[in-house]
Chains A and B, each alone.
Chain A
């Protein structure tokens, strides 16, 4: 087995000691034969049988950062191999089809003598047919044999046995015609080759159609640029994408795709991120903003620092996630798997039973009838349709979702999304923009002083409202003093000692306030705003009114969910009045207000206890327990690692329409899978008994093995074609 050669970009090395530390860390990974670090290039070359992810982990564990330097995935080699395979299948089908057609014409047109008249001729034809069978079906025979050796049986087993049995019987008739009753002296060579012709043709058509099911992945892969323009020693040079290292400065010119992820250093431009997020409008990027590989720069030019390369870029992670989801099995597919696991041996038993039934109670010539029925049973049975039913629809459904900026982690999540009966929406950042801002300062004394103290107390908090207070202070050029003894009480507020005084910043409810302040609080809440109280040593010092505007499209998206029969609830730590005001603006009827983050999961559990299938939609960071508790957790509006890791479904676009679209895609996909499974089960449940001859006593109907071969090929093509219909589904148009 050849060793892999893996190249890593290393950052964080500052001296020769670091080089040794990284080399030692790499060499200690099992499977590594050789590791050499190049300090000047900040790269490491590793040889051995080892997964790149393990090397990256070893370097990170040693205190440095690393990423694999890898070229953009080359789809052309794969497509070339598949095209060659497709041509091979067609060519085999043509050869087998021509041989079968000639034999059929010869027999039916009376050009070939009957077996007992010229057995030597039929023996020669049999040898010729064997050559054609090996050419057109060699892969089935070797596959069947290899599977048999490891106690496995698959579609190859059935084809090999079916065509093989027809050939062996025909050769026996040709070699010993006298040993076979006269009525049964018929050769079935044409059946052997025509079955192979149909199955090869079916596989070719199936392959062509399957290619279309992975269009979404191909589109994502196509977003990866092949080259990048890096700044080295003051010069801008074009390099292959795999040569862009961590922390390198990269130039992006107008109209170019951004090669890797990073932070903008110099320049300004609007970047079209629609392929990644589904968001149609370009986003303006300025120094300090992050940019993502694969997105398209519009008119400006800028420099950025490469921070995530290779498999660590958002695009690479999205591709990985989509592939993982496409490869997973939802519960709906497990029944098919269980059936498929025993399918072929069961068909073999049915074939044996068929032979014996015809042999014992069939009409003369019993051997011919028994053989025809047995071969037909073997050939008509189609485990492929069962095997294809779920994965192909899932592949199209997950890909379709990715095109709309909806990232699904597992097939199970996709299936569950369609069954949702209640959607619980977090307020801040989900229904609202998630950018709260102080809109009003009401102070007993000086307004600046109030903000200064509030900002000092809030400096240690990670709450979005704290960020609003700090931003308001910064906007007024206020530098907050240092706070001590910071304590945060979830759902209530923060306490800290500032300049010798105990400050409280948080919910005003537990405090007795003057009537006019009380009035201001009520007014703010009735507008959907959040008032917070600042008190000094227990004495109310002022109010800060914070507003977080509702997302423009939240109301329309909630209407779509209602239209699909889904109940929508709002959960928030905010006061009841504020929550109700926001709920009213967007058309939500159920409100859970005053719920601290850790209790949101309990609300979800309560709803589940009432028999609801619950989706929780949040930012994926501070409501992770609720996302995990829900039947389907949606993280909205970001491609951050935390969100992707904690949610079942990540909405790259900050819009609740993604939830409605995920539900629509899920329902369409599950419906498509059910159609495929139904078709595959019905096909086999009807096809196998008919092939065995159950209709013969009543109607005299016995299928030809050639028709069975065509039916088998058609059944898998039908499943693939049906899965492809999903590609036409438009989630954005679904109500």
Chain B
């Protein structure tokens, strides 16, 4: 299974993730009556109740060891599920690099240029094409 060092890093990644979970904008919650995180009425909120609540399922894939995995877990999974990677076809390095750069430059992911390259390496290793294909560059909002 996962070597000890990887487990440790995984825990760190999860800690970052937890911060992400707690995030959903608290000012907005007050403004609009969202009460994120109330467990009690969640499973049985009745249709005539003024408070309508759901519990989102949470069961995300854990990624295999590899160079760049640590950066991937801490930087990417804060904002979205790893399924954003696994649902894609095997893209070329060009395409993956473009996607990772977009996360940094457009969405403000907290990663250095060096980490961009490491994450790209990792994505290519788990879901990329070998060789130097010139796949399409990603765009926005897709």
Are A and B co-members of a single complex?
no
Name B residues whose Cβ lies closer than 8 Å to a Cβ of A.
none
